[in-house]
Chain A
Amino acid sequence: MATSDTNLADRSGSLLETHKSYQPRVIFFYFVIFALLATLVIGLAHEQLFNTARHLDSERMQNQRRILVPGPRGNIYDREGRLLVGNRPRFAVVLYLDELKSEFINEARIIRRNYAEAGDKDLPTRDQFNQIARVSVVQRYLDQVNGILQRTSTVDRVDLKKHFDRQLLLPYTLIDDLEPNDYAKLVERLPVKSPLQLYASSTRFYPYGSAAAHTLGYVGVETDIDVEDFPGEDLKTFKMKGTIGRDGLEKVFDSRLQGEAGGTIFRVSPAGYKINPPLEKRLPVQGRNLVTSLDIDLQRVAEEAIDDQTGAAVAIDVKTGEILVLASKPDYNLSDFSPRLTHAAAADIEARQAWTNHAISAAYPPGSTFKIITSIAALRSGAINPDDPIVDCEGTLRKYNHNFVCENGLVHHGEILLRDAIAESCDIYFYTAAWLTSVEKLAAEGKRFHLNEKTGIELPNETSRMVVPDPEWKMRTRDESWVPGDTAHMGIGQGDVLVTPLQMACFVASFARGETYTHPTLLHQADRPAQHSAPIGLKPEQMQAIIDGMEGCVTHGTAAKTLALASEKIPGGIRIAGKTGTAQVPGRKNVAWFICFAPIENPEIAMAVAVEGDTPNEAYQGGIYAVPVASAVLRKYFDKKAHPSAFVQPIKPE
């Protein structure tokens, strides 16, 4: 019995729950749990204390978007304040897709239900449902506009998808470049609080169409606009398209004309929809204006006078170097570039070879206009004297085993003096003067007038193909020796001499001042000081002989036929000094030249005109083709001076 009691006690004791203070297995788990908790706490502390900035940053990156809007470009004016290039408002009707979130969702639901009701087993995917819904909703809004404007436009699915995926925060353009009537209708008939809104942007506006096209230049689309000192550079940024100067003044002064971009930073929902109001906003600001030295009246007259010929005319203010006219033909209509140049228009410009600015990018032999430089070189070197005949022109001259012909010798010039040689453009005289002077001195004179280098005008694409040749140049470029015939040809501006019309205009302006260098500029300053450079170094009687010759060219010489008629119409009996030239390029089209300045007593305006012939080897004389262009410009210039009140316009502030 006692045994059985003992066993019972043992058994009952084994059934009792007992706790020991030391349980190694449990304590192990305590450690594990503690370690895990500690890891979590430390991790949390680390993230909260040390990585807060990073998390805030990534949160900001995730839920904020930046939109940049370009500022309008500055205007370009002529010297009298007339608008040459401005900005034209361009109205579009746009749809703010980010305000249509609930409509898209509802539409997708309806479409899905319709599919289900129709029992269609070939169900589109979720994305496809959403796309169909978007197109359907946007088309509904577009139909509102169609109804008002009596149009039948439809939504471009691909374009809409691209816009939705990439630029949801930017308005989606439904119809662009609205006519004023359409714009007025939409203003009145679209609800004020509607996702459909009118959007105004700017595009370039050219009141004078093709006038000064090469000088003013054009703009192209710029997608990479930037805004200074605007926060959120690291945010996902949507950029509206801006413009960038691609040619002419638009290109050279792009940074000045370029407006300051504006920007907005929005918070967006996880689906990318905008939450108003914006966190940051800065309005775009228009770029600075540019006042050019061009006189649009003269510019248009020059272009009309050149008409459908190929060539250029440059007029320059003798005292300041400001360019009054920089005309080049053929040209293009700048309005074709706004808002963008079509392929057809580009092809047409290409076909007409109208891209080239012949005033600065085409290098021509100067022809007989170079005889002024030959005269200066010969007089300075003492090789000729104004009052001594150096040759008896019989139409041809046999020398160095060659026959040298006087191209202007329809009648024999006989024993001719410098004045008449210039007026009649006697080649034999200048062959002889060149030989007497030497090629080195001729070349040095050309270089002294900077005819071997770019003028540095504020335009792109000024050619560097100008050449003032000399024996060293010929040997270097052609590996040939210089021969006396080269000197003769150089003396009359033929052979290898190449200059641009702008260079010749600068040369005439320098000569008119009795100096050697004129820096041309296209910027107008009302108080710009007169330019000065090294004097020519001729004695007054020598200078007078050349000027007499140039005046004789206009009054009774090679330019007399056309310019004399024009002179009668120039008020106040203005005396003009000029020189014609006909550059003959074997196998190629000849070039008719005319350079001049006026009035002789107090020179104000200098000009150079170069017009290409339209048939190879055709006699294309400066007196016939280039003189009328200069004549028209001079007449307009002096007309404006005589009747200032009829032309003066207020100059707009810059």
Chain B
Amino acid sequence: MPSKRLDQARPFLTLIIVVVAWLVLPVVVKTFTRAGFFELQAPLNVAASYARDLQEYWSLRLHTNDELIEASRDLARLNAQYEVAAQQNAGLQSEIERLEALLKLPAYAEYRSEHARVVRRDFSGWWQRIVIRKGRNYGIPVGAPVIFSGGVVGRVTEVYAYTSVVELISNPGVRLAGVIEGETQPISYQGGINPSFANARGVIEFVPLNVFANAAAPKRLVTSGLGGVFPPGLSIGTVVKVEPSTDGLFKTGEVELDPRLGSLTEVTVLVPLNPE
């Protein structure tokens, strides 16, 4: 009879032993185990993402030739526009460099671009992050800024052999120094508490009192470039609300982020060429 009871309690005992063992394990072992688990999981995620790519490829193959011709025309037009924009940017860039040299301003940090596919998205109320298909094999460092065509995506927080984890700017754990477009005073941006499947938002603090914005007259929030992590002028989001804080010193506000953040398939990691 007692042995039967013991048999019944065995799963619970095992669970307790495992939990206690995990608690008493040294931190190094735990970190190694976690990383090992992620590395073990990574090929599966990467394989799944390749399968998705293949799926997309075949779904595209199903389009008619007319549709493809129309799409390639659109692409050609877009390319032409980008070509003009690139020329303008080059002109502006050289003007900026001339002025920087004239004013003896330090040049902003330079970056190497690494384009990477998104292999997994992980959105919850607690954290919002994506896993990308490049890691140490492409020299991606922890802390590198990640961007897409709409602006800032986030920062690399974990780097593995073939994958990296990027914390999105919608995550409360991400904070960066932004400026309201046209202003100079840096303000603090931080991701908000965002429920799953909702439009992501962030919060801004230490906003100067002379800044006014609302949903009808929003203002663009861009990176300041002063923090040394993100280059200046990248779009963070749109300031849709600012209100005075009770201390009368600053305003606080809400920033609406690009809804495409939730459906990213391709991002660019900016790898600093001369890390400090």
Residues of A within 8 A of B (CB): 71-72, 87, 89, 91, 180-181, 183-185, 187-190, 192-193, 198, 200, 202, 259, 262, 283-287
- Chain A residues with Cβ below 8 Å from B229 are 188-189
Bound-state CA distance A266–B250 (Å) is 25
Q: Is the CB of B249 within 8 A of A72?
A: yes
Taking A72-B248, A89-B250, A202-B249 as contacts, is the C-beta distance between A188 and B175 under 8 angstroms?
Answer: yes
> Which residue of the partner chain, among B177, B245, B247, B250, contacts A184 with CB atoms under 8 Å?
B177
- Chain A residues with Cβ below 8 Å from B247 are 71-72, 202, 259, 262, 283-286
Taking A180-B226, A184-B226 as contacts, is the C-beta distance between A198 and B173 under 8 angstroms?
Answer: no
Bound-state CA distance A510–B245 (Å) is 46
Bound-state CA distance A183–B185 (Å) is 10
- Chain B residues with Cβ below 8 Å from A287 are 248
> Which residue of the partner chain, among A71, A72, A198, A262, contacts B188 with CB atoms under 8 Å?
A198
Q: Is the CB of B248 within 8 A of A187?
A: no
Q: Is the CB of B172 within 8 A of A188?
A: no
- Chain B residues with Cβ below 8 Å from A259 are 247-248
Bound-state CA distance A566–B177 (Å) is 52
22 contacts between A and B (CB under 8 A): A72-B249, A87-B248, A180-B226, A181-B186, A185-B227, A187-B175, A187-B177, A187-B188, A192-B172, A192-B173, A192-B174, A192-B190, A200-B249, A202-B247, A259-B248, A262-B247, A283-B247, A284-B246, A285-B248, A286-B246, A286-B247, A286-B248
Q: Is the CB of A192 within 8 A of B249?
A: no
- Chain B residues with Cβ below 8 Å from A89 are 206, 249-250
Bound-state CA distance A187–B188 (Å) is 6
- Chain A residues with Cβ below 8 Å from B248 are 71-72, 87, 259, 285-287
Q: Is the CB of B249 within 8 A of A188?
A: no
Asked if B224 CB lies within 8 Å of chain A CBs, one says yes
Chain A: minimal CB distance from B208 (Å): 8
Asked if B239 CB lies within 8 Å of chain A CBs, one says no
Encode B169-189 as 1/0 by CB contact (under 8 A) with A: 000111111000000011010
Q: Is the CB of B227 within 8 A of A187?
A: yes
Bound-state CA distance A259–B245 (Å) is 14
Taking A71-B247, A283-B246, A285-B248 as contacts, is the C-beta distance between A188 and B185 under 8 angstroms?
Answer: no
Q: Is the CB of A188 within 8 A of B176?
A: yes
Chain B: minimal CB distance from A285 (Å): 6
- Chain A residues with Cβ below 8 Å from B160 are none
Instruction: Say whether chain A's binding surface is mostly helix, strand, loop, or mixed.
Output: mixed
- Chain B residues with Cβ below 8 Å from A192 are 172-175, 190
- Chain B residues with Cβ below 8 Å from A87 are 248-249
Which of B172, B174, B226, B250: most chain A Cβ within 10 A? B226
**Contacting residues of chain B (84-108) with chain A, CB-CB under 8 angstroms:** none
Taking A189-B229, A192-B172 as contacts, is the C-beta distance between A183 and B250 under 8 angstroms?
Answer: no
Encode B48-80 as 1/0 by CB contact (under 8 A) with A: 000000000000000000000000000000000
Asked if B228 CB lies within 8 Å of chain A CBs, one says yes
Which of B188, B224, B249: most chain A Cβ within 10 A? B249
Chain B: minimal CB distance from A259 (Å): 7
- Chain A residues with Cβ below 8 Å from B246 are 262, 283-286
Q: Is the CB of B227 within 8 A of A188?
A: yes
Bound-state CA distance A187–B186 (Å) is 9
Encode B223-260 as 1/0 by CB contact (under 8 A) with A: 01011111000000000000001111110000000000
Encode B122-165 as 1/0 by CB contact (under 8 A) with A: 00000000000000000000000000000000000000000000
Chain A: minimal CB distance from B156 (Å): 14
Bound-state CA distance A259–B247 (Å) is 9
- Chain B residues with Cβ below 8 Å from A180 are 185-186, 226
Chain B: minimal CB distance from A450 (Å): 40
- Chain A residues with Cβ below 8 Å from B226 are 180-181, 184-185
Closest 9 CB pairs of A and B: A286-B248, A188-B227, A184-B226, A184-B177, A184-B186, A283-B246, A187-B177, A184-B227, A187-B188
Q: Is the CB of A200 within 8 A of B186?
A: no
Chain B: minimal CB distance from A165 (Å): 29
Bound-state CA distance A180–B183 (Å) is 13
Chain B: minimal CB distance from A557 (Å): 50
Which of B185, B190, B230, B247: most chain A Cβ within 10 A? B247
Bound-state CA distance A62–B114 (Å) is 58
- Further pairs besides A185-B227, A189-B228, A259-B247: 20, Cβ < 8 Å: A71-B248, A72-B248, A72-B249, A89-B249, A89-B250, A181-B226, A183-B177, A183-B186, A185-B226, A187-B186, A188-B177, A189-B227, A192-B173, A200-B206, A200-B249, A259-B248, A262-B246, A284-B246, A285-B247, A285-B248
Bound-state CA distance A259–B206 (Å) is 19
Bound-state CA distance A286–B246 (Å) is 7
Bound-state CA distance A58–B174 (Å) is 43
- Chain A residues with Cβ below 8 Å from B245 are 283
> In this complex, what residue of A is CB-closest to B190?
A192
> Which residue of the partner chain, among A72, A183, A188, A202, contacts B228 with CB atoms under 8 Å?
A188
Chain B: minimal CB distance from A225 (Å): 14
Bound-state CA distance A190–B229 (Å) is 11
Bound-state CA distance A259–B249 (Å) is 11
Chain B: minimal CB distance from A72 (Å): 5
Bound-state CA distance A200–B186 (Å) is 13
Bound-state CA distance A190–B227 (Å) is 10
Bound-state CA distance A283–B245 (Å) is 9
> In this complex, what residue of B is CB-closest to A201?
B249
- Chain A residues with Cβ below 8 Å from B230 are 188
- Chain A residues with Cβ below 8 Å from B250 are 89, 200
Chain A: minimal CB distance from B20 (Å): 21
Bound-state CA distance A183–B175 (Å) is 12
Chain A: minimal CB distance from B152 (Å): 11
Chain B: minimal CB distance from A512 (Å): 40
Bound-state CA distance A6–B248 (Å) is 109
Bound-state CA distance A183–B176 (Å) is 11
Which of A187, A200, A283, A284: most chain B Cβ within 10 A? A187
> In this complex, what residue of A is CB-closest to B225?
A184
Which of B185, B190, B229, B246: most chain A Cβ within 10 A? B246
- Chain B residues with Cβ below 8 Å from A198 are 188
> Which residue of the partner chain, among A72, A91, A184, contacts B224 with CB atoms under 8 Å?
A184
Chain A: minimal CB distance from B176 (Å): 5
> In this complex, what residue of B is CB-closest to A190?
B175
Bound-state CA distance A192–B157 (Å) is 13
- Chain A residues with Cβ below 8 Å from B190 are 192
Chain A: minimal CB distance from B129 (Å): 14
Chain A: minimal CB distance from B179 (Å): 9
Q: Is the CB of A187 within 8 A of B176?
A: yes
> In this complex, what residue of A is CB-closest to B171?
A192
Bound-state CA distance A551–B177 (Å) is 63
- Chain B residues with Cβ below 8 Å from A187 are 175-177, 186, 188, 227
> In this complex, what residue of B is CB-closest to A90?
B249
Chain A: minimal CB distance from B144 (Å): 13
Chain A: minimal CB distance from B203 (Å): 12
Bound-state CA distance A174–B6 (Å) is 58
- Chain B residues with Cβ below 8 Å from A285 are 246-248
Bound-state CA distance A188–B225 (Å) is 10
> In this complex, what residue of B is CB-closest to A193?
B173
- Chain B residues with Cβ below 8 Å from A286 are 246-249
> In this complex, what residue of A is CB-closest to B244?
A286
Bound-state CA distance A429–B227 (Å) is 76
Bound-state CA distance A652–B206 (Å) is 21
Chain B: minimal CB distance from A40 (Å): 43
Q: Is the CB of B249 within 8 A of A185?
A: no
- Chain B residues with Cβ below 8 Å from A184 are 177, 186, 224, 226-227
Chain B: minimal CB distance from A650 (Å): 12
Which of A181, A188, A198, A259: most chain B Cβ within 10 A? A188
Chain B: minimal CB distance from A110 (Å): 15
> In this complex, what residue of B is CB-closest to A289?
B248
- Chain B residues with Cβ below 8 Å from A193 are 173
> In this complex, what residue of A is CB-closest to B188?
A187
